[in-house]
Chains A and B, each alone.
Chain A
Amino acid sequence: MFASQQVADVIEVKPELDAMGVSLAAIGSGTPDQARAFTEKFNYPGEMYVNPSLSVYKAFGLKRGFLKTLGPASVARGIKAMFRGHRQGSSAGDLWQQGGMFVLGPGEQLVFAHRNPGAGKQADLKAVLAAAAGP
């Protein structure tokens, strides 16, 4: 449910990203077919890539682990997400891998980094937009 919540959040700010000329790309941990099904189910409007080996997740320093996914804080956020209408669907990809959000480029620039400390611990989208709009 957290992935769908994450996508629902970025879909909301896609028009603002478009207006700034900033692209939206996502990387998932499943197969291309699973990523395509997810994209179609949630009408995700950005580019989608997959990294089943998790090598890129690891290079970006993203966390992975059982307690990151099912610890008490993550469960509490899961209940909150359910009240917002996000339901856990069939899962595909690595269950224990956490996500994150970065603003990069053009060239060798990293202007925003958020590594989810646990499931459902998403980036502040206002901060993402501010970074995307910056130099």
Chain B
Amino acid sequence: MTNQITKAIVVLRACGLLFLTTCSIKGGGTMQSNAYEAIHSKIAGLTVNDLEDHAVAVDGLWQDRRVVLVFLRHYG
């Protein structure tokens, strides 16, 4: 019985630690040396629409310039 209680306490402490860790992970990006290849084939042919609802090739957004591209969650 004592062992079972001890095990339960260990599990609960582990869950609490996991919760706190999940809550406190810091944000941050990752520098990529040659990461474009990983997305190149996936974005080929994909489009987004501008505010006039015209299709725009997504890779055209950075073809001739550097761009910070922000993917928003829902509007709100």
Chain A residues engaging chain B, CB cutoff 8 angstroms: 1-4, 6-7, 10, 17, 20-30, 32, 34-39, 46-51, 55-57, 59-62, 71-73, 76, 88-95, 97-114, 116-117, 119, 121-124, 127-128, 131-132
Contact = CB atoms under 8 A, between A and B. Distances in A.
A37 B23 contact: no
Contacts of A117: 25
Contacts of A94: 74
A28 B75 contact: yes
- Chain B interface size, as a band, is 35 or more
Contacts of B56: 49
Nearest to A117: B25
A95 B58 contact: no
B49 interface: yes
Of all A-B residue pairs in the complex, the 8 with the closest CB atoms, nearest first, are: A105-B62, A114-B29, A93-B74, A91-B76, A49-B48, A59-B42, A104-B62, A38-B75
Given A49-B48, A73-B22, A26 B72 contact: yes
A95 B30 CA distance: 25
Interface string B29-50: 1111001101110110010111
14 contacts: A6-B72, A26-B71, A49-B50, A49-B56, A92-B75, A95-B74, A105-B64, A105-B65, A108-B40, A112-B29, A117-B25, A122-B27, A123-B28, A124-B29
